[in-house]
Amino acid sequence: MEKIVIIGNGIAGVTAARHIRKLSDKEITIISAETDYFFSRTALMYVYMGHMKFEHTQPYENWFWKKNRINLIKGYVEKVNPKEQLLQLQNGQEIPYDQLILATGSKPNKFGWPGQDLKGVQGLVSKQDLDALEANAPNNKVCKRAVVVGGGLIGIELCEMLRSREIPVTFIVRESSFWNGVLPNGESQLINEHIKEHHIDLRLGMNLGEIHGDENGKVEAITIKETGEVIDCQMVGLTAGVTPNINFLKDSGIELGKGIKVNRFLETNFPNIFAIGDCAEQHEAIGNRRPIEAVWYTGRMMGETVAQTICGNKTKYNPGHWFNSAKFLDVEYQTYGWVFSERNKKEYEKHFHWRHPEEKVCITMAYHADTGKFLGLNTFGIRMRHEVFDRWLTEECSADYVLEHLKDANFDPEFYKAYENLIVAKYNTDTGSHIQTKKKSWKRILSLGA
Amino acid sequence: MNNTADRSMALTGEPPKALNLQQKLATLFGMTGMGILVLALMNINFENRALWLTLSLLAISGGIVWFSYAAYANTQPGIKNDGVMFKSISSRGFWGWIAGIALTGFYIVLYFYPQYLGLTKEGDNTGLIALFDPLSKLLSGNPASQWFVYGTLYTVAILAFGIKFLYKYRHNAYERLRTISVMFFQTAFAFLIPELMARLNGEGFSLPYYDLKNIWPLNYYNFERYRVNSFIDAGDIGLALLIFGILSIFVITPILTYKYGKRWYCSWVCGCGGLAETAGDSFRQLSDKSLFAWRVERWVVHSVVVFVTLMTTAVIYSYLGNDTSKYWLTKTTFLIGVATFLTAIFAWVMIYKREQLKKDATYGAIGYFVIIIALIGIHFFSGDGNVFLFKSEALRKTYSFLIGSIFSGVIGTGFYPIFGNRVWCRFGCPMAAILGFQQRLFSKFRITTNGGQCISCGNCSTYCEMGIDVRAYAQKGQNIVRSSCVGCGICSAVCPRGVLKLENGPAKGRINSQDVLLGNDVDLMQLVNENK
C-alpha cells in the first residue's frame, strides 16, 4: 500500500491526513517532534491564561488517530533523502515513504539582536515555547517586568497573556502605530488606545537595541535602540514575525527560498514531495496574497488541496477571497476582501472609515475610486457573516450595495446594538450619497428562492 | 507518587488565582451571613428572628455582590476567564471538593432528614426553619417548611450570583437579558406567586402549590390525584390552572420551541437552568465533552423520559374510573389515548425524520416504543390490576426518590463543582429531553458557524456546560443543531474569532455539512461538497 508520510502535526498536516483518509485507504504516518497529538496552536495563549487546560486545545480525542488508522510518531526528522525516499530521525530510525508532505510550520524570527539567545528570551509558537514561558514568567515575582518585541498578532497576544498574571509589560513596536503596515490609521489608532487601557507600556516607533544578560546567562535588561533607555526585565518575547521551519532540509536537494518552494499544486521540485502550510512558499504570489502565508486557515486549505492531489484528483491550490480575524485584547477584528494600510494602499483604493464616538467599534471599507466596486471591509467590535461577504466579493457588488444591505451581514449575538444606520449616515455625509439600509432578509442571506 | 512531588516543585504556578483584599473582605462578609444560618441550625434561639434573617440574607447577597464588584470593577468589559483552570474551586481542586461535599450533604438533609433543619410536625418549628418563619408568614401566612427555606436560599442565590453574572458579561446584551429573565422568573413565578397564591386558600378553597413555569414532566407530580382533585375542587381558577398545565406541555412549549429552540425555557425561564447559569456559572467548564459521555447522556436522559411517561400514565390511570356514565375519561379511554398519541409521534419521526436519527437513537426509539405499547397491551389482556406490571404508587415513589430527589437535587446540584453545572439538565431532565427532541427535529433554532473563520481553539467546547463539542462542528463549517443545547450563548461569547451565532432562521439549510470550507477554491468546494 502506498505510504504517505507527513512531517508536522499542525493544522496543515493533520487536515491533509484526515482528508487523505476520507478519500483513500493509503497508509498514513504523521511525524512530529513537538507533541504526541495535534493541538490548536492558536489556543496556547489560553492555557497560560488559565482559560483552558492543554488537553482542551486538542480537537480530537486520543482514540481518534488509531480509529482512523493514522500512525503518529513522535520524533525529530533530521534528514530527508528524496533519492531513496527515506527519512532519518534523530534517534536513528529510518522511515520510507512514497509520497511526502512537508508541513513543518514556522519558528519565531530572530534578527541577530545581541543577546537574542540568552535564557529568558523566547518566542511564542510551539508547545515548548509555552512551557518556556511558564518557566520564564510564572508570576510577577519571578518576572517583575517583561518586554515584548514586535507589534503583530502574536506580540499583542503575548502582552495579554502576561498581563493576565499581572506582570508589567513593555511592548516595543517598530511602527509608528500598532500594526499599521496592515491596518489603516484609524483602526491602528483605536488599538493603540486599547493597548494602553490594558496598562501595557506601549513604545511606538522603537526598536530593540540589545538584550543584556547576567552572569548566569539569563536576561536582565534590554536597551532601546533609538533612545538608549535601559529597561530591566526578566523575560523578553520575540514576536517580530515568523519564518519557515526548514533548516533540516538544507542539503536535501529540495528547492528552498525563504520557505519550501512549491508550485500551485503545492509540489516541490520533487513530484512526490509536497509542502503545505506556513513552511510553503509559492513561486509567485497568488493575487494580493503573500508567497508565504502563515495563517491558520490557509494551512487548512492547503491540506484539503494536497489531499485531493495525492488521492488522484490533481488540484491547484486556489484560495478564494481573502478573509481573516483576530482578537486584540477585548476587541475582535474581522476582515473580508482587501483593505490595505495607507502604506500599502493601491492607487485606486479609496477608504470609508467610521468609528463609534465612545465604544471601541469601527469599520473601514475599501472600494474602487472610479467604479465604486466594493474591495473589502475591516471591522472592529462588530462580527460579520463570512458567507455574505464572500458572495458580495464574488458578485463584485458595489460599495453602495454593500452598505445598503449591511444588516444582512451582521453576525453579532442577538440583542446587540446595531450600528448600520450610524455607519450609513456617515457614509452619506462623506460621499453625498442617499443610501438607506434595507431590513435583514433571510432570503438574501441564505440565497433562498432565487 | 513522583508526580505530586514534581508538581509542587515545578516552576509553573502562582498565576492570578489569589483573591484581592476586597474579595477577601467580601467573602468574610458573606460568610457572616452564612454563620447566622449555621447558628440557627445549631438551635441557637434568636430573639428577633425577622431581624436576624434579614441580616443573614443581606450579608450573603451583599457579600456575593461585593465580591463580584471587586473582581470585575477595574477591568475592561470582555471575557473574564483568567485563571479559571488554576483556581481550586473551579478546577476540581480542594475547595471544589469541599463545596461539592457541603452541597451534597445539604441536599441529603433537605430531602431526607428535614427534622435536622428544625421541621416540626406538631408544634412550632425550631432551628433553621424557625428562622425563616417570619418571612414565610409575611408572604403566605403559614409557618416555613424546609422547602420554603430552600426556595428562599435558591432565589437569593439566583439573584446574587445573577448580579455577578451580569457584571461578568456586561458587554454582552444576550447574556444580560437572559439573566434578568431567569432572575425575574425565579423571584416572581417560583418564589412569590405560589406563596401569595397560598394566601387565597381558606375555607372551601385551596389551590395546590403551583409554580406556573414548572411544566410537566419536570414537575412530574403535577397530575397526581391530590393535585388534580384540588384543582377541580377550586372551581374555575383551579380548572384554568389544570388546563394551563396540560396546554403548557402540549401546546405552548412546542410552539415556543419551534420558534426559538429550547433555550426559551432552559436558559431564560427554568429555575434549574437559572441556578445553573448563575450560581453554577463558575463550573460550566467541568462538563465532560467526550463522545462516551454523549452516548451515556442520550441513553440516560431518554430513559428518564420513558420512566416519567410510564409513571405518570400509571398514576393517572390508577385514579380514573371504569364507568363512562360518571366521567368521560375512563381507564380504558385514557390508555388508548396515550397509546395513540405515542404511536402518532413515533410514526411521524420514523416517516419524516428517520434520516436525521443516529443508529442508536433509532434502536432506542423502536425499543422503547415497543416496550410502552406492549405494556399497555398487557394491561388489556391481563384484565384490571397493575398497569405496567408495577403498582403505580411504587412507580411514583421510585421516580420521586431516584429522579426527583437524588438525580435533580443531590447529584444535579450537589455535584456542580465536580461534574459541572448542568449535570441534571443534561443527563436527567425529562423536560429538557422532550424539548431537545423537538429542537433537533422541528425548530428554527441553530448555532450558525461563520464560514471558515474557526481556528479550532476550543474555547467554545471548553465552556459548553452541556458538554457539546462545539468545536467539532465549527471547525468543519457546520451549524450546531444539537438536542441538548440550552442556548446559553457562552460558546458564542467566548469565541475569539466571531464564529458562532445563536439564531432563529428558516428551517431550510439549518443543518449543513461541508467537507471543504469557505475560503477555498469555489470550484473545489462545490465538487467536494456535492460529490459526497
> In a 10 Å sphere around its CB, with 0-12 CB exposed, 13-18 middle and 19+ buried, how is residue A9 labelled?
buried
Nearest to B462 among A56, A142, A318 (CB): A56
What pLDDT does B326 receive? 74
In which band, very low, low, confident or very high, does the pLDDT at B388 lie, cut at 50, 70 and 90? low
Higher pLDDT, B19 or A240: A240
Q: Does domain A3-107+243-310 have CATH number 3.50.50.60?
A: yes
Q: Do A308 and B171 touch (CB under 8 A)?
A: no
Asked if A10 and A33 touch (Cβ cutoff 8 Å), the reply is no
In which band, very low, low, confident or very high, does the pLDDT at B387 lie, cut at 50, 70 and 90? low
Give the start-to-end residue ranges of the domains of chain A: 3-107+243-310, 121-240, 323-445
Per-residue pLDDT averaged across A98-120, rounded? 96
**Interval B94-121: pLDDT, tens:** 999 999 999 999 999 999 999 999 888 8
Sequence-distant (6+) residues with CB within 8 A of B328 are none
Sequence-distant (6+) residues with CB within 8 A of B13 are A138, A139
Q: Which residue has 460550566 as its cell numbers?
A: B284
Per-residue pLDDT averaged across B305-323, rounded? 86
Nearest to B498 among A52, A138, A411 (CB): A411
Q: Beta partners for A72?
A: A30
**Mean pLDDT lowest among A148-162, B315-329, B465-479:** B315-329
What pLDDT does B12 receive? 44
Q: Do domains A3-107+243-310 and A121-240 have the same CATH topology?
A: yes
Interface size between A and B, measured as CB pairs under 8 A: 202
What pLDDT does B2 receive? 35
What pLDDT does A204 receive? 97
What pLDDT does B10 receive? 40
**Interval A366-404: pLDDT, tens:** 999 999 999 999 999 999 999 999 999 999 999 999 999
Per-residue pLDDT averaged across A11-32, rounded? 97
Residue of chain A nearest B464, judged by CA positions:
A56
Q: Do A390 and B451 touch (CB under 8 A)?
A: yes
What pLDDT does B1 receive? 32
What pLDDT does B376 receive? 77
A414 in B contact zone (CB under 8 Å) = yes
What pLDDT does A41 receive? 94
Q: Do A139 and B85 touch (CB under 8 A)?
A: no
Per-residue pLDDT averaged across B414-438, rounded? 94
Q: Beta partners for A121?
A: A236
Rg of chain B, C-alpha, whole Å: 25
Rounded to an integer, what distance in angstroms lies between the CA atom of residue B49 and that of residue A127? 59
Nearest to B290 among A61, A394, A413 (CB): A61
What pLDDT does B104 receive? 93
Nearest to B519 among A320, A332, A414 (CB): A320
- A448 CA: distance to closest CA in chain B (Å): 8
Quick one: DSSP state of residue A140?
A: T
**Mean pLDDT lowest among A132-141, A173-182, A438-447, B38-47:** B38-47
Q: Which one of B447, B469, B520 makes the best mutation probe of the A interface by having the most chain A beta carbons within 10 Å? A: B520
Nearest to A413 among B172, B523, B525 (CB): B172
Task: Write down the ipTM of this complex.
Answer: 0.95
Long-range Cβ contacts of A432-439 (<8 Å, 24+ apart): A433/A400, A435/A400, A435/A403, A435/A404, A436/A404, A437/A403, A437/A404, A437/A405, A437/A406, A437/A407, A438/A404, A438/A405, A438/A407, A438/A408, A439/A407
Rounded to 10°, the helix B49-72/B21-41 angle is 160
Per-residue pLDDT averaged across B519-525, rounded? 66
What pLDDT does B4 receive? 35
Q: Is the pLDDT of residue B350 over 90?
A: no
- B276 CA: distance to closest CA in chain A (Å): 19
Q: Do A56 and B458 touch (CB under 8 A)?
A: yes
Q: Is the pLDDT of residue B14 over 60?
A: no
**CA distances to A127, B40, B44, B108, B415 from B118, in Å:** 56, 9, 11, 15, 25
Asked if A287 and A117 touch (Cβ cutoff 8 Å), the reply is no
- B471 CA: distance to closest CA in chain A (Å): 7
Q: Which one of B468, B488, B497, B499 makes the best mutation probe of the A interface by having the most chain A beta carbons within 10 Å? A: B497
What pLDDT does B319 receive? 85
**Mean pLDDT lowest among A17-31, A331-345, B211-225, B350-364:** B350-364
**CA distances to A116, A144, B75 from A124, in Å:** 14, 19, 25
- A179 CA: distance to closest CA in chain B (Å): 18
Mean confidence (pLDDT) of chain A: 96
**Mean pLDDT lowest among A228-242, B53-67, B205-219, B433-447:** B205-219
Q: Do A318 and B78 touch (CB under 8 A)?
A: no
Q: Is the pLDDT of residue B527 over 70?
A: no
Q: Do B519 and A61 touch (CB under 8 A)?
A: no
Rounded percentage of chain A residues whose pLDDT exceeds 90: 98
Residues of B in contact with A50 (CB under 8 A): 15-17, 81-87
In which band, very low, low, confident or very high, does the pLDDT at A411 lie, cut at 50, 70 and 90? very high
In which band, very low, low, confident or very high, does the pLDDT at B493 lie, cut at 50, 70 and 90? very high
Q: Do A385 and B172 touch (CB under 8 A)?
A: no
Region A323-445: CATH code: 3.30.390.30
- In chain B, the domains with their CATH numbers are 17-74+113-200 (no CATH), 291-428 (no CATH), 444-530 (3.30.70.20)
Per-residue pLDDT averaged across A68-80, rounded? 96
A18 in B contact zone (CB under 8 Å) = no
What pLDDT does B522 receive? 62
**Interval B226-262: pLDDT, tens:** 888 888 888 888 889 899 999 999 999 999 999 999 9
Per-residue pLDDT averaged across B506-526, rounded? 72
Q: Is the pLDDT of residue B430 over 80?
A: yes
What pLDDT does B406 receive? 86
Q: Do A415 and B174 touch (CB under 8 A)?
A: yes
Q: Do A22 and B515 touch (CB under 8 A)?
A: yes
Q: Is the pLDDT of residue B6 over 50?
A: no
Rounded to an integer, what distance in angstroms lies between the CA atom of residue A368 and that of residue A364? 13
Q: Do A320 and B16 touch (CB under 8 A)?
A: no
Helix spans in A366-435 (H): 386-394, 399-404, 406-409, 420-431
Residue of chain A nearest B16, judged by CA positions:
A165
What pLDDT does B523 receive? 67
Q: Which residue has 450600528 as its cell numbers?
A: A419
Residues of A in contact with B15 (CB under 8 A): 48-50, 138-139, 164-165
A305 in B contact zone (CB under 8 Å) = yes
Q: Is the pLDDT of residue B9 over 60?
A: no
Q: Do A61 and B459 touch (CB under 8 A)?
A: no
Mean confidence (pLDDT) of chain B: 87
Q: Which one of B72, B457, B504, B517 makes the best mutation probe of the A interface by having the most chain A beta carbons within 10 Å? A: B457
Residue type at position A198: H
Sequence-distant (6+) residues with CB within 8 A of A199 are A163
**DSSP-derived 3-state class of residue A244:** strand
Region A121-240: CATH code: 3.50.50.60
Rounded to an integer, what distance in angstroms lies between the CA atom of residue A210 and that of residue A172? 13
Residue type at position A210: E
> In a 10 Å sphere around its CB, with 0-12 CB exposed, 13-18 middle and 19+ buried, how is residue B216 labelled?
buried
Q: Which one of A20, A63, A162, A301 makes the best mutation probe of the B interface by having the most chain B beta carbons within 10 Å? A: A301
Nearest by Cα to B56 from B38, B43, B69: B38
What pLDDT does B325 receive? 76
Sequence-distant (6+) residues with CB within 8 A of A200 are A159, A163, A169, A170, A171
Residues of B in contact with A385 (CB under 8 A): 450-451
